[in-house]
Amino acid sequence: MSDSIKHECGIALIRLRKPFQYYLDKYKTPTYGLSKLYLMMEKQVNRGQDGAGVANIKINVNPGNRYISRYRSVEPQAVADIFGKINKKFRKAQKLAKDVKRETGIDPSHDAAWWQENVAFTGEVLLGHLRYGTHGQNEIENCHPMLRQSNWRSRNLVMAGNFNMTNVDDLFDKLVSLGQHPKEKVDTVTVMEKIGHFLDEENQRQFLKYRDKYENPELSDILAEQIDLVRVLERSCKDFDGGYAMVGLTGYGASFVARDPAGIRPAYYYMDEEVVVVASEKQAIKTSFNCAYDQIQEITPGSALVIDMDGSVKEAPFIDRLEQKSCSFERIYFSRGSDPDIYTERKKLGRLLIPQILDEVNNDLKNTVFSYIPNTAETAFLGMIDGLEDHLAKERKQAIMGGILFEKELEEMLTFRPRVEKLISKDVKVRTFITSDEQRDDMVSHVYDTTYEVINKGVDSVVLIDDSIVRGTTLEKSILSLLDKLSPKKIVIVSSAPQIRYPDCYGIDMSKMKEFVAFRAALALLKERGLESILDEVNLKCLLALENGTAHTENFVKAIYAPFTDQEISNKIADIVRPKNIKAEVSVIYQTVGNLNVACPNHLGDWYFTGNFPTPGGNQVVNKAFVNFMKGIEVRAY
């Protein structure tokens, strides 16, 4: 992605459904679950490289013994750092086992009870999280899993997730009204405290029900068996507005994965006799457990996958389901392209761009070179080439059926292939989105290199496909100047995604409107055509709606783009990103929203393109973001 944006976070949950001894006997190792968790996290590390965390719960531990383990890291290789520390514990335990065997003649390394008594991270419930710090600092305190502690096992709560809430202020105020004192006004803490509050209430409800029938410690076990996690989620999540896939582990070993009612954030699961696993991406599950893709299920939006203390599994609704609007950026960019469905969709995104591309180069394929911006646009590029081959096949058929061709013409037509070259390559291993805004302009000019002497100077057009164009910074500061050194007649930049016009508020790092090159293009067109009064009109509507508490009902910012066609916006974007000192003509092609929906029919979440937000909070965020822009305030709007 030429203007890389931060990914969503990644989750990985493993529940071992058999006694720990089963895995020790079958797989000859006490680290079966940990090894699988490590693999699942490594296969999703594309989703989060600002930090990682792992938590583990031991079930049926005697009172007084430790049963929750957790490590978090913000080191550059956070996953390796965490599992390196865990491995040290096991190496130390193996040495201890040898000492015991030498002294007693008994080898405890084959005894699950010994491992669980002496070594951390030997529990049956394992949770991993990969974090992208879309907002806030990358400190250890910001890393998931988060832990809400209690001396009562059934009141402990460990949480991690891939989520962002649009109404954190409201949720914070409700916590305060409940008598709580949250330590921070951030969605991670707020969500955990709200679920934790109702988990406490559920514990109290069951305690009052059974206190006269049982005494401790038996009462503690009864509470764990009777806790209704679906009820907890129904009560705690009813006010949530956002996209989320949240994992919760209770101290007694039950767990849940709750997915938002519009299915914005992804969550998939697989289960067999030995395990139940959940991840943000199918590919992580497929690779880690070698299961068939059709065995991997999607958690229903508005439902929670609940794994009880005994390992039984159910999927139950906890909130009214909305129209499904799964994030289309998952398909375009975020998720691994090795997932067969995503691979097919990305190829189709490239294929569907062919009519626009042919128009832009006037069907002059002999003098057009096709390439892509590595690495994520490669699949869309393959689809684009497939589309060109289909176009050429149709042309050949029409020409042959239309009449007799001379042998030279026929040979030329049958042997012609699209000209494909790798024109752009990454020169250094730097991702521009890691740098600060101030550093980005300087950094992007050094990230890419180009291949020389493959372009016919002054004759050829270059068509370069990218997965999306967000800010336009890399085009303006690096890529177009590099390509111009090849002396093409024309440079056509193609985006497999539509124009990003609106901020995201569900977990992607796209919050400031002025950063979107499409928004900058609309502003320029308004100024050119004397329509700047629209800005004031929209600002007034947004201000009044925010003041009256009705900003969630409508996206007023759509009016900024209404006077212009998509093509007019694209043409202005080409003007904006074209460096003044280059000679080549520049044009920009964006995917249409219609074609996006054709390519990804099951992932129709397109609010960043259309402004059609799937929750009321989205409208409030975009209206507030526009007001912030008009005031010159550079802060997140949620």
Which pLDDT band holds residue 491 (cuts at 50, 70, 90)?
Answer: very high
User: What's the pLDDT score for residue 510?
Assistant: 76
More confident residue, 516 or 407: 516
Residue 602 · residue 263 · CB < 8 Å: no
Q: What is the pLDDT of residues 6-18, one digit of tens each?
A: 556 999 999 999 9
| pLDDT (tens digit per residue) in 282-302 | 999 999 999 999 999 999 999
pLDDT of residue 258: 98
- How far is Cα 468 from Cα 383, in angstroms, rounded to an integer? 15
Average pLDDT, integer, range 417-421: 93
SS3 6: coil
Q: What are phi and psi of 491, to 5 degrees?
A: -120, 120
Between 430 and 88, residue with greater pLDDT: 88
DSSP string, 38-104: HHHHHTTGGG--SEEEEEEE-SSPPTTS--EEEEEE-STTHHHHHHHHHHHHHHHHHHHHHHHHHHH
CB 345 within 8 A of CB 331: yes
For the chain, the average pLDDT equals 90
Decide: 433 and 510 in contact? Cβ < 8 Å. Answer: no
How does residue 325 score in pLDDT terms, banded at 50, 70 and 90? very high
Which alpha helices (H) appear in 237-315, and where do they start and end? Answer: 282-289
d(CA 160, CA 187): 12
pLDDT at 424 over 70: yes
* DSSP run (H or E) holding 309: none
Is the Cα torsion angle 127, 130, 136, 138 positive or negative in sign? positive
- Partners of 271 in beta bridges: 276
Q: Where does 128-262 have alpha helices with state H?
A: 168-177, 187-210, 218-226, 229-236
- 461 DSSP 8-state letter: E
pTM of structure: 0.91
The tokens for 281 are 């991406």
Letter string b/e over residues 112-141, b meaning 16 or more CB atoms within 10 A of that residue's CB: bebbbebbbbbbbbbbbbbbbbbeeeeeee
* Average pLDDT value for residue range 448-464: 90
Structure token digits, residue 518: 């499409």
Tokens (6 digits) for 157: 């709560």
pLDDT for the residue numbered 240? 93
Read off the DSSP letter of residue 333: I
- Report the range of poorest mean pLDDT among 31-40, 138-147, 455-464, 539-548: 138-147
What pLDDT shows up at residue 257? 98
3-state class (DSSP) for residue 483 = helix
pLDDT at 411: 74
Q: What are phi and psi of 227, to 5 degrees?
A: -55, 130
In the sheet that 303-307 helps form, which strands lie side by side, from edge to edge? 146-148, 157-165, 242-250, 255-259, 303-307, 313-317
Q: How large is the average pLDDT for residues 580-589? A: 96
pLDDT for 248-270, tens place per residue?
999 999 999 999 999 999 999 99
Give the pLDDT of residue 105: 92
Tally of residues, the chain: 638
430 pLDDT tier (thresholds 50, 70, 90):
very low
- The DSSP H or E segment spanning 477 is none
Q: Is the pLDDT of residue 40 over 70?
A: yes
The confidence score (pLDDT) of residue 44 equals: 95
State how far the Cα of 203 lies from the Cα of 226, in Å rounded to an integer. Answer: 9
In the structure, what pLDDT confidence band is assigned to residue 635 with cuts at 50, 70 and 90?
low
What is the per-residue pLDDT for 179?
65
Percent of the chain with pLDDT over 70: 91
DSSP output for 385-403: HHHHHHHHHHHHHHHHHHS
SS3 151: coil
Enclosing H/E stretch for 163? strand 157-165
CA dist 441 and 321 (Å) reads: 43
Residue 231 · residue 242 · CB < 8 Å: no
φ and ψ of 129, to 5 deg = -140, 140
Per-residue pLDDT, 168: 73
Q: What is the DSSP letter of 258?
A: E
Check residues 348 and 430 and name the one with the higher pLDDT.
348
Contact in structure between 441 and 469 (CB atoms under 8 Å):
no
pLDDT at residue 436 greater than cutoff 60: no
User: Burial level of 230, CB count in 10 A (0-12/13-18/19+)?
Assistant: middle
Closest CA to 638 of 490, 513, 458: 513
Q: How many CA within 13 A on the CB side of residue 279? A: 27
Beta bridge partners of 244: 163
- The pLDDT score that the predictor gives to residue 606 is 97
- How far apart are the C-alpha atoms of 475 and 480, rounded to whole Å? 5
Q: What is the mean pLDDT of residues 21-38?
A: 97
Q: Is a pLDDT exceeding 60 seen at residue 197?
A: yes
Amino acid identity for residue 442 in this structure = D
